[in-house]
Chains A and B, each alone.
Chain A
Amino acid sequence: MKEDQIKRRTLLRAAAVTALGSLVPGLSARRMPEAAPEDPTKVPGTPVGKVGTRSPFEQPQKKASDISARSPLQDFYGIITPSDLHFERSHNGVPRIDPNRYELLIHGMVERPMVFTLKDLKRFPALSRIAFIECSGNFRSGKTNMTPQEICGLTSQSEWTGVMLSTLFREVGVSPKATWFLAEGSDAAVMTRSIPVRKGWEDAMIAYAQNGEAIRPEQGYPARLFLPGWEGNTNVKWIRRIELSDQPFMTREETSKYTETIKGGKIRQFSFDMDARSIITYPSYPQTVEKGWIEIRGLAWSGRGKISKVEVSTDAGKHWQAATLQEPVLDKAHTAFRYGWHWNGDTTEIMSRAVDDTGYTQPTLKQLTNARGTDMGGYHLNPVTAWVIQRDGTVLFKPEKFR
């Protein structure tokens, strides 16, 4: 009787997997056997193919809401986010753009207003840079059963390739009097941000490639603005127009959104830099651990420079020890850290804090509310994140109240 039930359940599951295979593109094209053979050396393997696939035993996924999809930070190894797991935020969907019809217009306070096709952009010197992009509204809290993905999954890292904006600025002859430029996307929100010209000269890029291939539609295909270390929203995707000016345009995304209330009823605007932050991704909810040696692992990053140190506490913040930083430690980039810990089986809290090369130390939520007031807005929150390790080995997020 019991055996029958199991069989039926297994059959149902197999049917479900098959149905899934026909729904998810790619899965059905080169479907792997539903169960691995007892001995893989005794049966021929899957033939070579045109596009590789993830093992069916690995199912990392973005967690999507109506407006954004979060990266599964807890599933990542190393520092590169697989392109199909890069977080997403769009303001009216992902546009479909024909690369052959794509054009970037640069005008306004320039000597020569010009139009660049995608092919044009690719003819300029091509530079690559590994750096993160993080949405400035990247802190969720409120319950104990939250994963790193749910708490701060709106950050991802890629190798971006493109042409430096400074090269295009020279090509059009940007006026020395220009102080701001408008970056405009060709999505259904025609999303725009005003960016100080100095960032354009410093390290801004028009990126057309991501992790070795054309940039993904969700990340701005065929070209996006890439501003290392600056809040995600300023990295305008599907960029179609850049207008040089001597004043900011005060668009909706830099006034009614992406501004934050701070102490004294004030509202902070043009908060571009992403402050240093870290999170332990192992162990984290809903993982479980066993008594003995545990390698605590996580990611740290800063929009202001390199991570110079990550400290880990395994006793609820009473003592802090330096974690090992995994090379490469790059400028404005996710940096992996690890810390060997022997857990004696008692309930405790573990947490990490990042320090960047400006000397900035990732604050606690209390430090943030002290600085900005309890009415502080939801952008640019980068608090130390604690996990509670319970006696039975379960791990829970420790949410803190601040409003």
Chain B
Amino acid sequence: MRWNQVNYRRENISVWTCLLVMVISCNRSPERFGIGRPATQHEIDAVNISIAPDGKGLPPGTGHVAEGRALFIAKCAPCHGPTGTEVPQYRLVATPDDTTHTRAIGNYWPYATTLYDYIRRAMPFNAPGSLSNEEVYHLTAFLLYSNQLIDSNRVISARTLPGIVMPARKWYVNDDRRGGNEVR
């Protein structure tokens, strides 16, 4: 059987079309797709609330124990109890030498910056995100004081907070489980 010239040409064209389509569509993956839009600095600043353990991200402001105590009684005590010790599952206060299984700030939290970050992000539970930066500093100061980690006159700020050494920090180790024939 011989190919008719016209048919052959037609065949030829469709073969090339096929190859062309394959080149375009066959799992080609560019380095970038050009999808999405650039974020403006303003946009980033509006949502970037993260705080690193070295204090990066902490806003201006100062926190005082006395102001923190008043705020705590008003906004936190309903769940955590007036001194942060009364409700076992929401316990916040324990001294570093507390050997009970309580996981509170003074005997379990490894970084002081986490306090600021978490209160600002998620508390109070019934009105998250409602506290001002200054109020968060006050509460942070009060909780550090309640856990006997600072004196009552210590002022908490972006400069002082990262320097507070948390007693439990030294107990933290990275996960060393690796699978395989060993239980860790």
Which A residues contact B (CB, under 8 angstroms)?
91-92, 105-107, 112-117, 120, 123-125, 167, 170-171, 182, 184, 188-192, 240-241, 243, 245, 247-252, 255-256, 259, 262, 265-273, 275, 304-305, 356, 358-361, 363, 367-368, 370-372, 375, 380
Contact = CB atoms under 8 A, between A and B. Distances in A.
Contacts of A192: 50, 121
B114 A256 contact: yes
A371 B44 contact: no
A123 B52 contact: no
Contact of B38 (A113, A191, A375): A113
B74 interface: no
Interface residues of B, number: 50
Contacts of B36: 114-117, 120, 171
Contacts of B171: 265-267
A252 B51 CA distance: 11
B159 interface: no
Given A252-B114, A273-B177, A189 B122 contact: yes
B168 A267 contact: yes
Given A105-B47, A107-B39, A368-B183, A275 B177 contact: yes
A259 B175 CA distance: 9
A358 B183 contact: no
B53 A249 contact: yes
Contacts of A240: 47
B111 interface: yes
B31 A170 contact: yes
B128 A188 contact: yes
Given A249-B51, A375-B101, A114 B174 contact: no
B36 to A, nearest CB: 4
Interface string B19-61: 0000000000101110111110001100111111110000000
B103 interface: yes
A255 B175 contact: no
A125 B110 CA distance: 41
A117 B43 CA distance: 14
B107 to A, nearest CB: 10
